[in-house]
Amino acid sequence: MNRLDKAHEDDFARHVVGVRPALRRKAFVLVGDWFAADDLVQQTLIAVYRSWERLDHHEALSAYTRTVMVRLFIDERRRHRWTRELLQDSLPEPEPGPEELARIGERLVLLEALATLTPRQRSLVYLRYWEDLGIEEVAQIMDCSSSTVRSSTSRALRILRELLGELGSRRHEG
């Protein structure tokens, strides 16, 4: 490894240390599962590493990383379901206490509703409302027109409103 390669390696390692925690939280919003979020972050960092020497490290690096993550998420969800891992009924962690359940109840309802959206719809909602990006930025990331972003986001929000109403009602009944 020559000196230039070592410099790139060190630069990338510093970048990973700085962005990994936030990237993991963002990935969780997309996939709804911490283990899957870790996998998505790892895939994203591998893809960014492959392009590292060509990237302008001072501008738009976080936007590029976010775009890579969203596109990997959508691509992964398009693959055949039979290639995915099977989920288990029990968690490896201990069950949360009653006070923790009360505190995270609303998040669970929201995550359940988000899980019903298509990967593309969920990505649109994530980019517009979690990342707070403008329509043009989302259109560029999603590789579609601004009108598609507006109409698809509107449709996704309508679905979420309906589902959140139903899920909230079921939660209060049970």
Average pLDDT taken over every residue of the chain? 83
Give this prediction's pTM: 0.61
Residue 47: the pLDDT is 93
The string over 34-56, giving b where at least 16 C-beta atoms fall within 10 Å of a residue's C-beta and e elsewhere, is eebbebbbebbbebbbeebeebe
Which tokens go with 80?
């055949």
80: left (phi over 0), alpha (psi -120 to 50) or beta: beta
Residue 78: the pLDDT is 77
Regions of the chain with pLDDT less than 50: 1-2
Helices 3-31 & 61-78, crossing angle to 10 degrees? 60
